[in-house]
């Protein structure tokens, strides 16, 4: 019985571990999907921030363009420039005051072209004018991939008289994002563009990115960060560097989560594309939602384990209770041996097995000699103790697949499967001697008388005849002086 309980406990532990693992796996998938969706939202958010800020700069550039395109004096100057390039100085003076307004909002690049593509005025941070022929309208148009450009034509009396081009650098753009959306932003440039020299404004100094050897920062980008921010971003980059290498190579949008000093950060990468991949706009933002996802995951795992444990404990309790009631129904309360009802159930099973295997089994019946005298002399409590001790001796000295029963009163039966009469007699004699040599509390020495028989599967169909033979043999043991084993004839 104890062994069965241990097996049942082990089974329930295995079921618990299995269900717990399944639940944990399911909730880990749920957390992963939540995180995946959340990262996709962060990419969309960065894209929206990028588009909104770009739209605001476009509106500002268009406002300046609209003002110029409705200024007759300026348009006439453009017409005059086509006849006399010296008018360019006057155009620059005309634009300089207005250009300061653009500079105030960090649009630091302004160029005016004539319809043929010649530079009329170049207002790059008030840089000196360099008149040169631009290949603006050729197939290989010269553009600066490191800036965001806004370009429109000027018309006067239905004739095109010039081209307006304003631009903002990505470094300025990402600093504006930081001010507007309260995060850390960075911009890394594809190294192939630097090798191709696809920039045309100002002087550029590039530093290799700490994210990947194929990407670079503009030097001005790094100098605009304070040392604490620079250190934090470097630590984040060092943490995610290996994880994002393959994603960077795909030139597509992606986002990743990382943890620095117990704080989660969402790092979103927005691929910037022109004629080819330019680089990435990167957003670094402290993140509280990931901690919530972790908390939800842990809560779900803990709650599911509690529910699984409660359900399994309830099932175990029901089974144990049912088993206990079943055992009570088939077990003698005093001796804890099987009772007569259980004997017939087991005997039927053994009969079927004996017939299949064509192997006999033995029945040993015995009772306690002069048990009534023990009760009368010492009282029923002592008599009960004698019954208990004899039961313990039987349990300890029969084989694990033998069965012991309290038949009634002081009578007992042992059913020994696949045992012939010779081995049954040895077992009976062993038990007789053990009880004879045992010292019982208060009573001292106690003896038993035994009757032994064998069930013959080839000639018998039920157990009653075998019980009768064993009982008769027991009676002979009593008649011939007790404390002996008698084989049924």
State the Cα–Cα distance between residues 180 and 468, nearest whole angstrom. 102
Work out whether strand 215-218 and strand 403-408 pair parallel, antiparallel, or are unpaired: unpaired
Angle among Cα 221, 47, 237 to the nearest 5 degrees reads 45
pLDDT of residue 132: 44
From the list 22, 44, 20, 55, the residue with the least C-alpha distance to 150 is 55
In the chain, the domains with their CATH numbers are 71-169 (3.30.450), 183-287 (no CATH), 331-487 (3.30.70.270)
CA angle 375, 380, 385 (to 5 degrees): 100
Nearest-5° angle of CA 219, CA 224, CA 226? 120
Q: How far is CA 154 from the centre of its chain?
A: 61
pLDDT tens for each residue of the chain, 489 residues long: 466 778 888 888 999 999 999 999 999 999 999 999 999 999 999 999 999 999 999 999 999 999 999 999 999 999 988 888 788 888 888 888 778 888 887 888 889 998 988 888 888 744 444 444 443 333 333 456 678 888 999 999 889 999 999 988 888 888 889 889 988 999 998 888 776 655 555 556 788 899 999 998 887 544 445 678 888 899 999 999 999 999 999 999 999 999 998 899 999 999 998 778 889 999 999 988 888 888 899 999 999 999 999 999 999 888 888 877 877 788 888 999 999 989 999 999 999 999 998 889 999 999 999 999 999 999 999 999 999 999 999 999 999 999 999 998 999 999 999 999 999 999 999 999 999 999 998 899 999 999 999 998 888 888 999 999 999 999 999 999 999 999 997
Maximum distance among all alpha carbons in the chain? 151
Q: Do 379 and 393 form a contact (C-beta atoms < 8 A)?
A: no
**pLDDT value of residue 98:** 79
Name the nearest CA neighbour of 18 among 307, 296, 318, 308.
308
- β-partners of residue 163 are 113, 153
DSSP 142: -
Q: What are phi and psi of 202, to 5 degrees?
A: 70, -170
Sign of dihedral through CA atoms 307, 309, 315, 320? Answer: negative
Contact between 404 and 414 under an 8 Å Cβ cutoff? The reply is yes
Burial of 115 (0-12, 13-18, 19+ CB in 10 A): middle
CA 181 to chain centre: 33
**279 forms bridges with which residues in the sheet?**
189, 272
Residue 199: per-residue pLDDT = 53
Residue partners of 120: CB distance under 8 A and separation at least 6: 78, 81, 88, 91, 112, 113, 114, 162
- Residue 308: CB atoms within 10 Å: 18
Q: Do residues 360 and 457 lie in contact, with contact meaning Cβ atoms separated by under 8 Å?
A: yes
CB 449 within 8 A of CB 367: yes
What element of type H or E holds 320? helix 289-330
pLDDT for the residue numbered 198: 52
Q: Which of the following is catalytic: 186, 410, 442, 460?
A: 410
- Supply 22's token pair: 């399944």
Specify whether 242 is catalytic: no
Structure tokens at 430: 């062993």
Report yes or no: 417 and 401 within 8 Å, Cβ to Cβ. yes
- Measured CA to CA, the distance from residue 212 to residue 249 in angstroms comes to 10
Q: Using alpha carbons only, how large is the chain's radius of gyration in Å?
A: 49
Whole-angstrom distance, CA of residue 489 vs CA of residue 485: 13
Token duo for residue 400: 């694990």
User: What's the distance, Cα to Cα, between the start and end of the chain in Å?
Assistant: 36
What is the SS3 assignment for 6-41? HHHHHHHHHHHHHHHHHHHHHHHHHHHHHHHHHHHH
Q: Which residues contact 241 (CB under 8 A, 6 or more apart)?
A: 210, 211, 212
Beta-bridge partners for 198: none
Cα(450)–Cα(425) distance, integer angstroms: 10
Question: Phi and psi for 36 in degrees, rounded to 5?
Answer: -60, -45
CA-closest candidate to residue 258, choices 242, 274, 270, 247: 242
- Report helix, strand or coil for 331: strand
């Amino acid at each position: 019985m104890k062994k069965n309980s241990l097996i049942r406990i082990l089974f329930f532990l295995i079921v618990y571990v299995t269900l717990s693992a399944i639940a944990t796996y399911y909730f880990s998938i749920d957390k992963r999907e939540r995180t995946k969706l959340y990262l996709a939202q962060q990419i969309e958010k960065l894209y929206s921030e990028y588009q909104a800020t770009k739209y605001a700069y476009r509106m500002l550039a268009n406002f300046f363009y609209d003002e110029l395109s409705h200024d007759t004096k300026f348009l006439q100057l453009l017409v005059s420039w086509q006849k006399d390039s010296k008018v360019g100085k006057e155009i620059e003076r005309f634009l300089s005051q207005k250009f300061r307004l653009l500079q105030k909002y960090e649009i630091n690049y302004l160029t005016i072209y004539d319809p043929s593509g010649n530079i009329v005025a170049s207002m790059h941070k008030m840089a000196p004018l360099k008149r040169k022929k631009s290949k603006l309208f050729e197939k290989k148009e010269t553009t600066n991939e490191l800036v965001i450009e806004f370009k429109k034509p000027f018309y006067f009396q239905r004739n095109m008289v010039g081209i307006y081009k304003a631009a903002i650098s990505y470094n300025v753009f990402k600093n504006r994002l930081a001010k507007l959306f309260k995060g850390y932003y960075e911009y890394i440039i594809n190294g192939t563009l630097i090798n191709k020299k696809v920039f045309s404004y100002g002087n550029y100094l590039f530093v290799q990115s700490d994210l990947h050897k194929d990407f670079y920062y503009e030097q001005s980008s790094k100098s605009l960060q304070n040392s604490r921010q620079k250190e934090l971003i470097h630590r984040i980059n060092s943490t995610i560097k290996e994880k994002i290498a393959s994603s960077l190579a795909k030139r597509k949008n992606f986002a990743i989560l990382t943890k620095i000093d117990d704080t989660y950060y969402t790092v979103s990468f927005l691929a910037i594309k022109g004629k080819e991949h330019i680089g990435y706009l990167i957003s670094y933002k402290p993140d509280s939602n990931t901690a919530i996802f972790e908390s939800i995951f842990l809560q779900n795992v803990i709650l599911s384990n509690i529910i699984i444990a409660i359900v399994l404990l309830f099932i175990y309790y029901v089974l144990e209770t049912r088993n206990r009631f079943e055992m009570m129904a088939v077990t003698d309360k005093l001796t804890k041996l099987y009772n007569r009802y259980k004997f017939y159930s087991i005997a039927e099973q053994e009969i079927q097995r004996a017939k299949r295997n064509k192997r006999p089994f033995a029945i040993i019946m015995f009772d306690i000699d002069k048990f009534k005298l023990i009760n009368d002399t010492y009282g029923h409590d002592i008599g009960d103790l004698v019954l208990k001790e004899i039961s313990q001796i039987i349990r300890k000295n029969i084989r694990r697949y033998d069965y012991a029963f309290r038949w009634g009163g002081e009578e007992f039966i042992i059913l020994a499967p696949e045992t012939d009469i010779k081995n049954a007699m040895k077992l009976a004699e062993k038990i007789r001697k053990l009880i004879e040599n045992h010292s019982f509390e208060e009573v001292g020495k106690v003896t038993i008388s035994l009757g032994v028989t064998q069930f013959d599967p080839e000639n018998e169909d039920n157990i009653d005849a075998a019980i009768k033979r064993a009982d008769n043999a027991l009676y002979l043991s009593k008649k011939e002086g007790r404390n002996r084993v008698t084989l049924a004839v």
